[in-house]
Structure 1
Amino acid sequence: MADDSVSRRRWLAAVGATGAAGLAGCTGGDGGQSTTTTTASDETDGGMTETTAKTTEQANVSGNVKIGVLQPTSGDLKYYGQQSLWGFYSGLAYKGDTDPITGSSTGTHTVSVGDTEYELVVRDTQFAADKAQSLATDLVKNEEVDMLFGCASSSAANRVIKTVVKQAQVPYMVGPAASADITANSETCGNLVFRASENTAMDARSGGKYVANQTDVSKVYLFGADYSFGKAVVNNYEQVLKDEGVEIVGKKFVPQGHSEWKGLLDKAKNAGAEGIVGGFTVATLPKLFTSFLNGNYDYRVFGGFATRITNAIVGQTLQKALGKPLTKEKLQGTKLGPFTTRYHWNQYDNEINNQFVDTYTSAYGVVPDLFTSGTFTAASAIAQAVSESGSTEGADIASALRGMTVTDTPKGKNGYTFQQYNNQARSSMTVANPVPTTDEWAGNWKAAIMPSEPLATIGAKEATIPKDSDQMNCSL
C-alpha cells in the first residue's frame, strides 16, 4: 500500500506541475454542482456473506466514500449513460433499503447505506475519450475521489486506465464499456481495474456457441465498427465460432454510423454466408437492419440484443416492412436472431430482480435495460466491499473486491464473481429471440420488439474467458 500511495502522490504532483494547459477541459462545463441526498435506514445486510474465496462478517461502517462517476449524460448516446447511472443508483438503493436517486444530472449526489455515506461526483464524458481523461484527472487531482466508476465508451475507459488509473493508483470500476480487452489485455488490466459489467467476449462465448450448436449456421461473415468495441466483438466471435467449427467467410470493419449497407450485405451473400454478426451501437445498427430487411437476404443476423433505443428504431423499421401488428410468425420470417443478452428485465426470475424492476420502473418510467444489471452489481459490490473490509479507503475497497462473489445482484444471489486473474466479474448470460412487445410492458419498454423468454441460459463459467486462454493476456 505504501508504494501505491507514493506513486499516487508523485502523479498528483506531476499533474499539478503541468498547470492549466495539462488539464485542458477539466474546468467549466461540468463544474456546476447540483446536489441530491438519499438517506437509508441504519440496517445493512447483516450476518454472513458467502463468497468463493472467503466468508466474512458484514459490518456497518461509519465514514464517507467519494466516487468519481464518468458517464455520457448528453449527446446522441446519453441513454447509455442514463441507464448506467440508474443501474448504479438502484444498486446502492437496494443495499441501503431506500429509493434510488432520480434523474441523470451531473453534480454531487449522496446515498447512505447504514452509516456509510456514498458521495457520487457525476461528470458528463460526452462519450469522448479526451473528455473522459480530463474529467478523470480532475476528479482524482482536485476532487480527491477514493475511486472512479464508469465510462460507456471502451475507448474512453482504455484512456482513463492508461493515463489516470495506473498513474495515480486509484481504484476503477469500469462500466458499462464492453470491450473484452479492458480486462484481458496487459496494457489495461490491473489489480485496481475491476468490471462487473458484461463484455464482448461473454457475448461471443454464449451467443456464438449457441448459434454454432443450436442452429444450422455453418458459415458466417463478421461486421464491426472500426474502433475498440467493434473490433472486440468481431475478434471474439471469430475465435469462438472457429473453435466451434464454423467457417468465417469474411470480415469487414466500417466507421461508426456507416449507412451504405447494400453492397456489403451483397458481399456477404456472395461469400456464401449463412449468418452475419454486427458489432455496432445504435449509431449504426438501424441502417444495417433496414438494408437487411429491404434486401430479402436469406441468411441470419445474430449478435447481441441491443438497448431500448435501438429496439425502438428497429421495431419501427420492422413495422414498416412487415406491417402492423407485428406477430411472432412475422418476426420469425425475418431471420433476425437469436441474440445474446447481457441482461434484460425479463430474463431473470428472482426476488432481487423483481424488486429491481419495480423500483427502477417507478423511478425512471422505463424497465431496466442492457447495462443496468452490471452497474447495479458494481454499486452492490462496492457497498459489500466496504462492509467486508470495514474501511472506506479506496485501497481497502479494492482489496475486498478481488475474488468477491457479489451477494445482491439482479441475476440472483451470488450472481457475479470477480475472477482473481483479471478482476472481471463473470455471470450467466441468456439467448433470446425478438418478439412483439406485450401489453404488460409496452408502456415501460417503449419499443415494438423485446427479448423473448430465454431460449437458453449459459452459465457464468462457460461465458467467461478462462485464465489459460490465448485471449487472456492479463496476470494480476
Structure 2
Amino acid sequence: MDDSVSRRRWLTALGATGAAGLAGCTGGDGGQSTTTTSTTAAEETTESGMTETTATTTEQASVSGKVKLGVLQPTSGDLKYYGQQALWGFYSGLAHKAGTDPIGDASTGKKTVTVGDVDYELVVRDTQFSAKKAQSLATDLVMNEEVDMLFGCASSGAASRVIKTVAKQAQVPYMVGPAASAGITSSSETCGNMVFRASENTAMDARSGGKYVANQSDVSKVYLFGADYSFGKAVVNNYEQVLKDEGVEIVGKKFVPQGYSEWKGLLDNAQSAGAEGIVGGFTVATLPKLFTSFLNGSYDYRVFGGFATQITNSVVGQTLQKALGKPLTKEKLSKTGLGPFTTRYHWNQYDNDINSQFVDTYTSTYGVVPDLFTSGTFTAASAIVQAVNAGGSTQSADIAEALRGMTVTETPKGKNAYTFQKYNNQARSAMTVANPVPTTDEWADSWKAAIMPSEPLATIGAEEATIPKSGVDCSL
C-alpha cells in the first residue's frame, strides 16, 4: 500500500470528524526546547550483515535529506526514568552512527542529529505514561507535524493504542520501544507491516528465564505471581507456556493489584502447593513488599524473574539492607533464595567494543550507566539510520521496507546482534541470566543501587529467546 495515499485518506477522515472525534488531539507540549547535534566526520564505509535469510543489508552513504521522527516517551511523573533511559539509549544510538556526543537531556521539543548528509529531526513529546495522552500526541505528530515515523512508548497499553488508532490507520512506520508486552508483535490486533520493535519483550524474558530454570536448576515446580495488568499478565502467561514446554509443573498462579502488600498468605500458599520456585512479574510498585515478606518468612523455594531498572534495584537493595544488614555481601545474598534473574540488557553483560564505547559515553553524558531499556532503543536508532542508508531514501515506506528482515550491524550486544523477524518485525537478540550481587566500588557512583547484576551466568541465544513463527498470531 502506498503510505502517502493511505495517510492522506486518514488525515481527510480525521479532518472530517475533528481531531477530538478520532483521537482527542490536544496539540504540542509546552516549554519545548530545540537542540541540534551534527558531525563533520567522514561518511560511513559500507557494512553488511546477514538477515534471517541469505540476504545482506548494506549501508550506503549517498543518501541526503531529512527524516522527521515523532518521539513518544514519559518525561515527567513517577516513571519518567523509563522515558529518560529510553531517550538516552536512542540518542546514544544516533550519536554512535554520527560519530558525535549524544544529546544531553530528556526534555521535550525539537532536536536534530545529523548523520552524514541526513538530518534526523526529533519531535519529542511527553506521554505522561498515559495511553490516552500517547494517542493524542501521536495523532498530532502525524497530522500537524507530518512526521515520517514514530518511535517510543514505555507503556505497552500506550503503544498498543497508538498502533491501533494512529500507526495502522495512517500507515506510518512505528518503532515501538521500550514497551515490552509480547502481544505487541505477536497478536494480529497490533502486529503489522509498519510496526517494528528492536526492544526486548516479556516473552524473551520468559523464554530465556524459563529455559534456565528448567535446564540449569533443580526446580521442577513453580508458582507464578504477576501484576493484574498487561505487563504482569504477559510475564506470567509467557513463563507458564515456556515452563510447561520444558517439563516444569505449574502448581498455581495468582494476579494481584499493583502495590499489593499482603504477601505472607500468598507466599504461604506457594509453600503449601509444593513450589520449588516462584516467578514475580512486577515493577517497583510491588517487588519491595514481596521481597520483604519473602525475606522475613521461612520458605524453601527460590524467587525468579527479571532484573529490573536502577530505580527498582535501588528500592530492592534498600529492602535487602534492612533485612540482612549492611554491608551486603555475596554470601548474604546467596542465602536469600533470590535469583538468578534474566536481564534484557545491563551495562556489564556484554564485552565488545561497541558496548564499551556506549557505557563510557552514556555514563559521561548522563551520570549513570546504561540500563535495562537502553540497548533496545540504541539499536532502534541504529536500525533506522542503517535502513535509510541501505534503502538510499528518507521516505517512510522505503525505511520500513529496509527494516524488514534487517540484521542491525551496530548494537551494544555486539555486531549483528539484533535481527528483525520477517514474520512479525520483532528483533531477536540474546539474553543473559545473572545473580544479584553487591554493587562494586567501580559502579557505585553511576549505578546508585546496593545490588547489581553479576557477570553473566549464562547467555541464551537469540533463536531460543524469541517466539518462533508458529507461536505468534501474526502473518506479515
Output the TM-score relative to the length of structure 1: 0.97
In 2, the alpha carbon distance for the partners of 1:76 and 1:263 equals 29
In 2, the alpha carbon distance for the partners of 1:272 and 1:55 equals 51
Preserved CA contact (<8 Å) 1:23 1:134: no
Equivalent in the alignment of 1:399:
401
Any gaps of 5 or more consecutive residues in structure 2? none
For residues 380-414 of structure 1, the C-alpha deviation after alignment (integer angstroms, 9 at most, x for no partner) is 00000000011111110000000000000000011
In 2, the alpha carbon distance for the partners of 1:346 and 1:57 equals 29
In 1, the alpha carbon distance for the partners of 2:29 and 2:291 equals 36
In 2, the alpha carbon distance for the partners of 1:64 and 1:57 equals 17
Q: State the shift of 1:50 in Å.
A: 2.5
For residues 48-76 of structure 1, the C-alpha deviation after alignment (integer angstroms, 9 at most, x for no partner) is 32232224351242111000001111111
Preserved CA contact (<8 Å) 1:60 1:116: no
Equivalent in the alignment of 2:37:
38
Equivalent in the alignment of 1:66:
68
Helix, strand or coil at the partner of 2:372: coil
Q: State the shift of 1:15 in Å.
A: 1.3
Equivalent in the alignment of 2:220:
218
For residues 327-373 of structure 1, the C-alpha deviation after alignment (integer angstroms, 9 at most, x for no partner) is 00100111100100000000000000000000000000000000000
Q: Is 1:204–2:203 an aligned residue pair?
A: no
Q: 1:323 aligns with which of 322, 325, 349?
A: 325
Preserved CA contact (<8 Å) 1:43 1:96: no
Equivalent in the alignment of 2:288:
286
Helix, strand or coil at the partner of 1:412: coil
Range that drifts further, 309-318 or 37-46: 37-46
Range that drifts further, 10-19 or 210-219: 10-19
Q: Is 1:251–2:281 an aligned residue pair?
A: no
Helix, strand or coil at the partner of 2:113: strand
**Residue pairs, 1:79-90, within 5 angstroms:** 79-90=81-92
Helix, strand or coil at the partner of 1:99: coil
Q: State the shift of 1:102 in Å.
A: 0.8
Q: State the shift of 1:474 in Å.
A: 0.9
Q: State the shift of 1:32 in Å.
A: 3.5
Any gaps of 5 or more consecutive residues in structure 1? none
Equivalent in the alignment of 1:337:
339
Evaluate the alpha carbon distance shift between residue 122 and residue 57 of structure 1 in structure 2; reply closer, same or farther with a 3 A threshold.
Answer: closer
Preserved CA contact (<8 Å) 2:50 2:56: yes
Evaluate the alpha carbon distance shift between residue 400 and residue 29 of structure 1 in structure 2; reply closer, same or farther with a 3 A threshold.
Answer: closer
Equivalent in the alignment of 1:93:
95
Amino acid at match of 2:9: R
Q: State the shift of 1:29 in Å.
A: 6.7
In 1, the alpha carbon distance for the partners of 2:59 and 2:368 equals 36
Q: State the shift of 1:265 in Å.
A: 1.4
Q: State the shift of 1:293 in Å.
A: 1.3
- State the percentage of identical aligned residues: 84
**Residue pairs, 1:70-219, within 5 angstroms:** 70-219=72-221
Q: 1:300 aligns with which of 299, 302, 324?
A: 302
Q: State the shift of 1:43 in Å.
A: 2.4
Output the TM-score relative to the length of structure 2: 0.97
In 2, the alpha carbon distance for the partners of 1:64 and 1:233 equals 39
For residues 158-181 of structure 1, the C-alpha deviation after alignment (integer angstroms, 9 at most, x for no partner) is 111111111110000000011111
Evaluate the alpha carbon distance shift between residue 28 and residue 131 of structure 1 in structure 2; reply closer, same or farther with a 3 A threshold.
Answer: same
Amino acid at match of 1:413: K
Preserved CA contact (<8 Å) 1:175 1:197: yes
Helix, strand or coil at the partner of 2:151: strand
Range that drifts further, 188-197 or 38-47: 38-47
Helix, strand or coil at the partner of 1:74: coil
For residues 302-351 of structure 1, the C-alpha deviation after alignment (integer angstroms, 9 at most, x for no partner) is 01111000000000110111011100010011110010000000000000
In 1, the alpha carbon distance for the partners of 2:264 and 2:194 equals 45
Equivalent in the alignment of 1:27:
26
Q: State the shift of 1:44 in Å.
A: 3.3
Q: Is 1:6–2:5 an aligned residue pair?
A: yes
In 2, the alpha carbon distance for the partners of 1:170 and 1:48 equals 27
Helix, strand or coil at the partner of 1:224: strand
Preserved CA contact (<8 Å) 2:41 2:99: no
Amino acid at match of 1:372: T
Evaluate the alpha carbon distance shift between residue 59 and residue 78 of structure 1 in structure 2; reply closer, same or farther with a 3 A threshold.
Answer: same
Equivalent in the alignment of 2:350:
348
**RMSD, matched Cα:** 1.3
Equivalent in the alignment of 1:411:
413
Amino acid at match of 2:377: T
Equivalent in the alignment of 1:428:
430
Amino acid at match of 2:187: N
Equivalent in the alignment of 1:465:
467
Equivalent in the alignment of 1:50:
49
Range that drifts further, 164-173 or 287-296: 287-296
Q: State the shift of 1:83 in Å.
A: 0.3
Helix, strand or coil at the partner of 1:118: strand
**Residue pairs, 1:227-246, within 5 angstroms:** 227-246=229-248
Amino acid at match of 2:49: E
Preserved CA contact (<8 Å) 1:106 1:122: yes
Q: List 4+ stretches of structure 1 deviating above 6 A.
A: none
Q: State the shift of 1:255 in Å.
A: 1.7
Preserved CA contact (<8 Å) 1:44 1:95: no
In 2, the alpha carbon distance for the partners of 1:127 and 1:217 equals 37
